[in-house]
Structure 1
Amino acid sequence: MTRRLQHSGGIVLSNNSYEVQIKKLSGNEDIPLPQQMSELAAGFDLHAAVEESIVLAPGERMLVPTGFAIALPPQLEAQIRPRSGLAYKNGITCLNSPGTIDADYRGEVKVLIINHGKQAFKIERNERIAQMVIQEVPRIKLVEVDELSDTIRGEGGFGHTGTK
């Protein structure tokens, strides 16, 4: 059952809709705010807010500004992820992926990009460089104990089940 809450500006579905404040930073009026590029897209595409074109050599990494900051509610985080087309066609991906934007961060959102390709890659102002997926984060309380419950798997990890 969906609970509806009255919210300024309309009705908000309490189980799956949130209002997230976003601020375009000065000097970036020409940079589009993050947007979902199709009706059912999970991610919001992020645009490069570089002052001038930059070239990323193979193996090089760079922190790319996006021209905006956000204020997430406490129950949300934003994850910065690669764009699949850039990764497949050019070897361009995000380090620390997914990168996390915490609810208490108010600085400019930036994307840590690396060129895993074999050729230099040029990043132009306004180019779509990554995507941002916003997720719920449950509040967790860690409880220290002397012993953990047993499972069949136990301490097996890192390939313990083989490949076939």
Structure 2
Amino acid sequence: MADEQVDTVWLTQEAFDAATAELEHLKGAGRAAVTAKIARARDEGDLSENAGYHAARDEQGQQELRIRQLESMLRHAQVGEAPAGDADQVSPGCKVTIYYDDDPDDTDTFLLGSRELMALAGNTEVEVFSPQSPLGSAIIGKKIGETASYSAPNGKPIDVTILEVEPYVG
């Protein structure tokens, strides 16, 4: 993992605090609660046919995965605002409007950022594309009026043009 390219995760102070609080809960009270469920289920007898035991172990696995995700995100977090950069240039943390070149009436507006961060902030209404996604990586650094291309999952090339770029303010 040391050789893996890891991008900075831009977090507001509120999102950082929420992630930290969730991590502390999961590592403390959350782990204790799951451990207690496993112990209660173990006391019921035969583990091979004990659905409660298997459910508690699955819950434990999901919780440990979430702990690792939060630890990684917080380890690479930069708290504050994303660098302003050029006001009309696409960068993480921007709200971007594009149109598809094969149908200029078909536009999409989305945040170029992290779904995880939007969920932490309690906002699941905004469409989000990761900067590492095919579309996200194609438009990073592009300016209003520029065109970018990326490949759809079926391999078909898709061309888009940047219509608007603005900082996302929530």
The TM-score bracket by the shorter chain reads under 0.3
Q: Give the alignment's TM-score, normalised by structure 1.
A: 0.25
Please identify which structure carries the higher strand content. Answer: 1
Name the structure, 1 or 2, with higher relative contact order (CA <8 Å, separation 6+): 1
Q: Give the alignment's TM-score, normalised by structure 2.
A: 0.25
Please identify which structure carries the higher helix content. Answer: 2
